Amino acid sequence: MKNIAANELKTKGVSSIEKALENSAEAIISVRGQDRYVVMEMEEYNRLRVCELEAALYEARQQVAAGEFVEESVDDHVARIRKVQ
């Protein structure tokens, strides 16, 4: 994964990101020597979001199959959530 210094990004702009992403799916932007941000092409971001949503759906299905859920009215649900906060 390519590292881009914040100063390079400041001077070269988006072209430094484009160059970094030519051979890698992600690039790290470092600020004052510390890794702070990750940039990627939108297509890769969307792919990761789909993976995240599929994982959440899988987990929810597993919980339902194991009986780990609550059936309640909207009012009861809101009341329960307010108690937790």
Sequence spans of domains, the chain: 2-40, 43-84
CA dihedral 77, 81, 83, 85 (to 10 degrees): -170
SS (H, E, C) 44-64: HHHHHHHHHHHHHHHHHHHHH
In this predicted structure, what is the pLDDT of residue 60?
Answer: 97
58 vs 30: CA distance, rounded Å: 35
Q: Which stretches of the chain drop beneath a pLDDT of 50?
A: none
Task: Supply the CATH classification number for the domain 2-40.
Answer: 3.40.1620.10
pTM of the model: 0.72
In this predicted structure, what is the pLDDT of residue 6?
Answer: 95
**What are φ and ψ of residue 11, in 5° steps?**
-85, -40
The contacts of residue 5 (CB under 8 Å, 6+ apart) are 29, 30
In this predicted structure, what is the pLDDT of residue 84?
Answer: 84
